[in-house]
Amino acid sequence: MTNDNRTRLDQVLLGDGLRVAPLGLGAMGMSAYYGASDEAESIATLRHAVDVGVNFIDTAEAYGPFENEKLIGRALGARRDKVVLATKASAETDDDGTIHGRNGTPEYIRKAAHRSLKHLGTDHIDLYYLHRVDPNVPIEESVGAMAELVAEGKVRHIGLSEASASTIRRAHAVHPLAAVQSEFSLFARDVLHNDELATMRELGIGLVAFSPLGRGVLTDSVTSLDDLDADDARRTLPRFQPEAFAANRRLVERAAAVARRHGATLAQVALAWVIAEGVVPIPGMRRRSRVDENAGALGVVLSEAERAELADALPAGEVVGTRDYVEVGAGQDR
């Protein structure tokens, strides 16, 4: 494993000509869900990430709501042009933060995009996702609105999050998708075993992986539920209930041998496995030390045998507890 990872941060292609760092930063936890945060450290972390080349930053209007976008806008300043900035239209949200149900109408997508531009303090969004598909609005209408934003120069590229293969194909026919964002890790490999990833690769669309570290279970930093703040939303998730968490940690320990072999942390090996699958992970990072640790994954080169060893060590059928939500499948395609 190399100590200097900057040479390994050469950009990779997602789709529609969009190139990003092979490792991104998920900013959600800086403003929501994971307990107390430190704004000064969050800003320092964002700036440090950009400075070392981890310059693919992911946010959404839902994170706060709005507070995460505003934080990123304050943090970036003159670094904005060095960043591939991704955000998302989410559940319909009033300006006062009141959240309603999903709204994929063209009218709401345009409103959300203009509001995100203001909060981010920028004149364009590099990658704009539909955060969740609205089952009451044909995907062609939602993507049509996003395509208009591209034509107007307010958005550079578009994508979907948690969409089925059929929805991906229909959306791509309206306007090329640069990326689809889905949960993907050694704990969550659904996209490998259904038609989603195959469809993306056929169409030249990149996969961006959220929660590539299993929301912290695939790391050395969350080894006990006591490591989570009392108000951390992960405490409500099925995989973080005491018996499930203990069982899942036993699975994770099977990967320790590979980490030791490389002189790496569990997080680095788990991220290296995702990257080796041709996927761009966006792990959550709230401290500069996490940026440096996760960037170290780019110096971990796994053999084919080791990749198989890791997959076999954490078989999907043995992971205890369902995901906290299931967004793909019946009823989503329109």
**Catalytic residue list:** 63
CA–CA distance, 176 with 159 (Å, rounded to integer)? 8
Angle at 73 between CA 69 and CA 75, to 5 degrees: 115
Rounded CA separation 93/61 (Å): 8
- Largest Cα span, the chain: 53
Q: Which residues pair with 19 in a beta bridge?
A: 13
Helix (H) or strand (E) holding 194: none
State how far the Cα of 107 lies from the Cα of 115, in Å rounded to an integer: 13
SS3 content of the chain, % helix, strand, coil (to 5): 45, 15, 40
Residue type, 318: E
The sign of the dihedral angle between the CA atoms of 192, 197, 199, 201 is negative
Amino acid at 188: A
CA distance 187 to 216: 11
Long-range contacts for 247-255 (Cβ within 8 Å, ≥24 apart)?
A: 247/320, 248/187, 248/214, 248/217, 248/319, 248/320, 248/321, 249/217, 249/223, 251/313, 251/314, 251/318, 251/319, 252/214, 252/217, 252/218, 252/314, 254/313, 254/314, 255/186, 255/218, 255/310, 255/313, 255/314
329, burial (CB in 10 Å: exposed 0-12, middle 13-18, buried 19+)? exposed
